Amino acid sequence: MTALHDTLPPITLRALERNLRCPGCQASLAFGSDTGQAPGVVLQCSGCEERFNIEAGIPRMLLPEMRRALAAIDATEKGTTEKVRTARSFEFEWSRFSEMRAEWERNFLDYMAPRDAAYFHGKRVLDAGCGSGRHSHYAATYGAEVWAVDLGGAVEVTRRNTQGLPVQVSQADIYHLPFEPESFDFVYSVGVLHHLPDPEAAFRNLLRYVKPGGEILVYLYWAPEGQPLKAALLGTVNALRRVTTRLPYGVLHALSYPAAMAAYASFVWPYRALRRIPALHSLAERIPMKQYDKYPFGVCVNDQFDRFSAPIERRYTRLEVTQWLERAGLQEIEIRPNFGWVGSGRKPLQ
């Protein structure tokens, strides 16, 4: 077990056996061995006997079909192709935009509001679709025990960005999670579900892992309502996406810089100019993409790649997000605008 101990964060080892479950049959797991590998680097299911490797300190908790699909051997299951393309897109994205920025702390708290830093202390949290790990980083910094999952290679970035914190990263599919149901105080998924083949089904699956009385929070892209300028801009973006989602990632990465420059020239700089004029302040606040005024230019570049690379992008009205939460039977439902919709609710005790 020494080699494994050297490659895993301090909250794991026994915690892996205690907390992880087979994503297929939900049975318990135990450390085993595999041909040609040292004892202790495989988790074996006590039920179906499926084995899950631990590589670079990260449990790879994927079912065989998804493992084959990610290895480009097979991708025939309905929806699998889109999931794999999405995972590879974000793997490339977070390998290029992996840095931790000071602005991410405020960004995290903006998504989580009205929950503050003290809210996370002592809670067991699931970060579903962890990306670069920036949200996991702050949840753990504020005192949570964080279990972070992502489908693709972005898990490597999360692990680097959460070194030394109580964060255990696992490679896993949101539709087939490796945890015991009702085992988390708080589950959140920021900017992920709208890129999946069946977003509401993924949301309902996440809810299975929230304890009675616990909370779930999701962030979804919004559909422009009564905003003709934004609707026209989105129409242009969607037309371009028919081409850009098929481009090699390296090419799209290069194109993200002029796209971000165009966004600054068309929206951010005019916003900065107009907001200084009191009589034009209300006009300034209606300008699309004004949120990038608060961030370095590189964040806009990152988001342009994100916008033009993900194969699926769905958008929702406030009513549609509310209906998600109501259909799930949640209580204390809250829907907040944050350049998208932040929807949250509490799972009933009964």
Tokens of 187: 């589950």
Angle at 167 between CA 165 and CA 171, to 5 degrees: 145
pLDDT digits (tens, 9 = 90+) for 42-60: 999 999 999 999 998 899 9
Q: How far apart are CA 69 and CA 80, in angstroms?
A: 7
Is the pLDDT reported for residue 190 higher than 60?
Answer: yes
Q: Residue 11 has what pLDDT?
A: 52
Q: What is the CB neighbour count within 10 angstroms for residue 26?
A: 16
pLDDT digits (tens, 9 = 90+) for 214-243: 999 999 999 988 888 888 888 999 999 999
Provide the whole-model pTM.
0.91
pLDDT digits (tens, 9 = 90+) for 57-113: 899 999 999 998 888 754 555 456 888 999 999 999 999 999 999 999 999 999 999
Helix (H, G, I), strand (E, B) or coil at 346: strand
Q: Residue 8 has what pLDDT?
A: 47
What sign has the CA pseudo-torsion 86, 321, 298, 161?
A: negative
Q: Residue 344 has what pLDDT?
A: 98
Contact 344, 334 (CB under 8 A): yes
Flag the least confident range among 28-42, 229-243, 268-282: 28-42
Residue for token pair 């779930």: 216
What are the residues whose beta carbons fall under 8 Å from the beta carbon of 349, sequence distance 6 or more? 212, 213
Which residues sit opposite 126 in a β-bridge?
147, 187
Task: Give the type of residue at 154.
Answer: A
**Cis ω on the peptide bond leading into residue 278 (within 30° of 0)?**
no
What sign has the CA pseudo-torsion 73, 195, 149, 87?
A: positive
Residues of the chain with pLDDT > 70, as a percent, come to 91
Q: What is the mean pLDDT of the chain?
A: 91
Contact 209, 126 (CB under 8 A): yes
pLDDT digits (tens, 9 = 90+) for 292-338: 999 999 999 999 999 999 999 999 999 999 999 999 999 999 999 99
Is the pLDDT reported for residue 267 higher than 90?
Answer: yes
147 or 228, higher pLDDT: 147
Q: How does residue 15 score in pLDDT terms, banded at 50, 70 and 90?
A: confident
Q: How far apart are CA 144 and CA 138, in angstroms?
A: 9
Residue spans of the domains in the chain: they are 95-223+315-346, 228-309
Q: How does residue 5 score in pLDDT terms, banded at 50, 70 and 90?
A: very low
Sequence length of the chain is 350
Q: Residue 224 has what pLDDT?
A: 87
Is the pLDDT reported for residue 13 higher than 80?
Answer: no
Is the pLDDT reported for residue 151 higher than 80?
Answer: yes
Is the pLDDT reported for residue 38 higher than 60?
Answer: no
Is the pLDDT reported for residue 1 higher than 50?
Answer: no
- Fold adopted by 95-223+315-346: Rossmann fold (3.40.50)
